[in-house]
Amino acid sequence: MDDDSMEYPRKYCPGPDWCEDNELYDIGGLHPVVIGDSFRDGQYSVVHKLGYGGFSTVWLARDHRAERYVALKILSAAGSRCVNEIAIQRYIRALGMSFDDLSITKIIDRFSFRGPNGRHTCLVLEVAGPSLNFLDKHSLKLRPDSVRDLAAQVAGVVRKLHTNDIAIGDLSTDNILLKVKNLSSWSEEEIYQRFGEPEASEACPTREGESLSSHAPRYQYDHIHFGWCDLDVLEPNVTVADMNEAVYTGSNPALHSQAESSAANRVYAAPEWWFGVNQKHTKASDIFALACIFFELRTASPLLPAYAMTDGAEVIQLLLGEAPQEWKDLQNDRDEDQQVELLSHEECGSESLDIKLAAVGKWEPWHYMTPEQRKQHFFDTYDEEERNDPDKDINIERDSSTRPPPARLSDEEHHDLKDLLSRMLTYLPEERITIEEVLQHPWLNKRYDDLDDQTAPWICRYDRGFRYYNATEWYRAYVLNVDPDSGDKAENGGIWRLDEENPKFENGTFNWDVFYDSAEDIWYDAVESQEFESDAPEPEEADEEEEDPQESEEVMTDSDEEEFSVTKLLGLPVDSDDE
């Protein structure tokens, strides 16, 4: 047993990967919820789970008074002591801004109650769908013009907040949610038919024979996986969620927070945060994060890789080049453990924006393989010791599910997107363009006719595996062994079949060199012949029916309206108690 486990012994056996850490259920922690629980004198009853975070769980609930579905965000007892999101929304309302024109998840109601782990604040929010990061998790793709439409919507929200001196702070694809069509007419049975019934896992203590404490949940639930459901429940419209990191940036000193901001999601943190120049949320830091979101939506990959969570300064130097000299000089004045590692002149800029954009839509032999074939390749390539080596970061399930690349960038779109992102991704915050300039940029206002097929659905699933890539008749016949007359695929497929009857096996071993050469030949043959079929490997193609956007609206209500004041803005509101 290692030192950490001796110092912090687990009270509960670890739950499934799809639920929050059950160690968070303790005094000051999360509130244990059971499907069917009701709150606020029975007004809200829990129907399903929407998600969770380190400081809250979010539940789909029925509001029996208003006859609608709402999202209950139940904060941890410790996190309930300072809810900045309430103060920010109160400030927005005090300014006279219309929530009908501001796409943020609005607080419809709020209350507090006491549970076994303390007093919890519960925010009643409009129901929204999955965050934009679910696209990658569920192998979903967006039509290129839909990407730009959604990007413009997010930028529109940022503009309205920036105009009123509010910086969002925690701007990421995690906190941008697709809207769902109005669910209020659905019964609970229909909810379960569409989304499936909540999968429950019983919690159990680590010590055998010991009973669960009152602090622990009886069950933990899997949340709704929108990517596994019918996509017609989603709208091509977004709302920005979780304004708890938002800050006032105007000239009124009474409204300024004295606390130093943290990078809630470091993958989207601006250079000045990483270099220790300015660690407060600003409008300029929002612009940098917004550029990361634009890149991620269009390319289906993050601008700054996951290891930016710990080595962000290094990643930013690889992307943007050498840091300003004054930033370099600043490192000499910092404590050794706070100094940023400065890369060599040759390393800086080696993974530039231009290089990243040039790779968008590039097809590799790996993309032609089904997940099963990729898994087989892993087992053939790496022995058990290599597969279990944490330094190699080999995850067969994750890597074998790599989806095809997004739609290629035309020369025109490449030029426009590079120009926009270059203006947003700068070292010096004062050199970044404003949100007004972002919204006026051609990339958000053009239609690229060579890419924007209006007949394709705005969102659809990748059809994983070889069925998706049937570029030419020769390809279909040779690789997939599809009968050109009937269109049926024979049971004994072409080079993709991984069994010893496959002619690509030599002495009982599959010849991967031949496989890769064949895949390359297939691709180049398809490109040269230009005989793409309508459902062939153009990633901008789609398979689902088009949506009819229908916006659902909720009315912002508050049982205890009161006059706006600076004191109330900065403090926790006085809420009602449901004991």
Same domain, 284 and 380: no
Nearest to 133 by CA among 61, 51, 33, 217: 51
* 487: CB partners within 8 A, 6+ apart: none
Distance of alpha carbon 448 from its chain centroid, rounded? 26
- In one-letter notation, the amino acid at residue 87 is A
- Total tally of structural domains belonging to the chain: 3
- In terms of residue numbers, what domain contains 504? 470-529
Same domain, 504 and 556: no
Same domain, 187 and 263: yes
CB atoms within 10 A of CB 333: 9
The pLDDT value recorded for residue 494 is 44
Quickly list DSSP for 166-208. Answer: EE-S--SGGGEEEEE---TT--HHHHHHHH-PPPEEE--BSST
* Confidence (pTM): 0.75
Same domain, 319 and 396: no
Same domain, 271 and 336: yes
pLDDT tens series, the chain, 579 aa: 444 444 567 888 887 878 888 889 999 999 999 999 999 999 999 999 999 987 899 999 999 999 999 999 999 999 888 788 888 898 888 888 888 889 999 999 999 999 999 999 999 999 999 999 888 777 788 888 899 999 999 999 999 999 999 999 889 999 999 999 888 889 999 999 989 999 998 888 887 777 888 888 889 999 998 878 888 889 999 999 988 888 888 877 666 664 455 555 788 999 999 998 988 899 999 999 999 999 999 988 889 887 667 788 899 999 999 999 999 988 888 887 788 889 999 999 999 999 999 888 777 666 666 667 777 877 888 888 888 887 776 776 666 656 667 778 888 999 999 999 999 999 999 999 999 999 999 999 998 876 666 777 888 876 444 333 333 343 444 444 555 455 455 544 444 443 444 444 445 444 545 544 554 454 444 444 333 333 334 444 444 444 444 444 443 344 443 333 322 333 333 344 444
Specify if 202 maps to a domain. Answer: yes
Same domain, 342 and 371: no
Specify the 3-state DSSP secondary structure of 324: coil
Q: How far apart are CA 137 and CA 132, in angstroms?
A: 10
Q: How far apart are CA 167 and CA 160, in angstroms?
A: 10
* 208: CB partners within 8 A, 6+ apart: none
Specify if 543 maps to a domain. Answer: no
Tell me the two tokens of residue 87.
Answer: 């103060």
Query: CB–CB of 518/471 below 8 Å?
Result: no
Nearest to 451 by CA among 541, 358, 357: 541
Specify if 179 maps to a domain. Answer: yes
Measured between alpha carbons, how far is residue 375 from residues 276, 381, 383, 400 in Å? Answer: 43, 10, 13, 6
Specify if 463 maps to a domain. Answer: no
Nearest to 143 by CA among 416, 543, 551: 543
Q: Are strands 505-506 and 459-461 parallel, antiparallel or unpaired?
A: unpaired
Specify if 537 maps to a domain. Answer: no
Query: CB–CB of 294/144 below 8 Å?
Result: no
Same domain, 484 and 342: no
Same domain, 264 and 388: no
Query: CB–CB of 45/36 below 8 Å?
Result: yes
Nearest to 37 by CA among 113, 128, 103, 101: 113
> What percentage of the chain reaches a pLDDT higher than 70?
71
Q: Is 160 annotated as a binding residue?
A: no
Same domain, 430 and 487: no
Q: Are strands 118-125 and 140-142 parallel, antiparallel or unpaired?
A: unpaired
Same domain, 178 and 253: yes
Same domain, 172 and 27: yes
Specify if 546 maps to a domain. Answer: no
Contacts within 8 Å (CB) and 24+ apart, 185-192: 186/69, 188/47, 188/62, 191/47, 191/48, 191/60, 191/69, 192/48
The CATH number that applies at residue 195 is: 1.10.510.10
Q: How far apart are CA 425 and CA 431, in angstroms?
A: 9
Quickly list DSSP for 2-56. Answer: -HHHHHS--SB----TTS--GGG-STTSPPP--TT-EETTTTEEEEEEEEE-SSE
Specify if 542 maps to a domain. Answer: no
Specify if 446 maps to a domain. Answer: yes
Same domain, 449 and 482: no
Q: How are strands ordered across the β-sheet holding 44-52?
A: 38-39, 44-52, 56-63, 68-75, 118-125, 107-115, 577-578
Q: How far apart are the first and last CA of the chain?
A: 42
CB atoms within 10 A of CB 5: 9
The pLDDT value recorded for residue 533 is 36
